[in-house]
Amino acid sequence: MVGITIGLIVVAAASLLVSGQLTESRRLIAEAQVQQDLRVSADVIVRELRRSGGIGLHGNLQPMVWSLGSATDPRPNALSDDLSVSGLGDEVVFNYFPEGPGSLATALGFRLTAGVLETNIKAGGWQDLTDPATMEVTAFNVTRVPDSVSRIPCPKPCPAGDTACWPSVNQSTLVVRITARHRAFPEIVRTHESRIRLRNDHFAFYRVISALLGEVCPP
DSSP codes joined into one string, 56-79: --HHHHTTTTB-TT-SSSB---TT
Inter-residue contact 134 to 182 (CB < 8 Å): yes
Residue 211 to residue 76: CA distance in whole angstroms:
7
Residue 182 to residue 163: CA distance in whole angstroms:
54
pLDDT in tens, 152-202: 888 999 888 888 888 888 888 899 999 999 998 889 999 999 999 887 777
pLDDT in tens, 47-65: 988 888 776 655 555 555 5
pLDDT in tens, 3-27: 666 766 666 666 666 565 656 667 7
Q: b/e per residue, 181-190, with b = 16+ CB within 10 A?
A: bbbebeebeb
Residue 181 to residue 137: CA distance in whole angstroms:
7
Q: Which amino acid is at 31?
A: E
DSSP one-letter code for 121: -
Strands (DSSP E) along 52-185, which ranges? 85-86, 91-94, 108-113, 116-120, 127-128, 135-151, 168-182
Instruction: Answer whether 0.85 is exceeded by the pTM.
Output: no
Residue 209 to residue 79: CA distance in whole angstroms:
16
Q: Mean pLDDT, the chain, as a whole number?
A: 78
Output the pLDDT for position 105.
47
Confidence grade of residue 121 (pLDDT, cut at 50, 70, 90)? confident
Query: Is pLDDT above 50 for 117?
Result: yes
Confidence grade of residue 40 (pLDDT, cut at 50, 70, 90)? very high
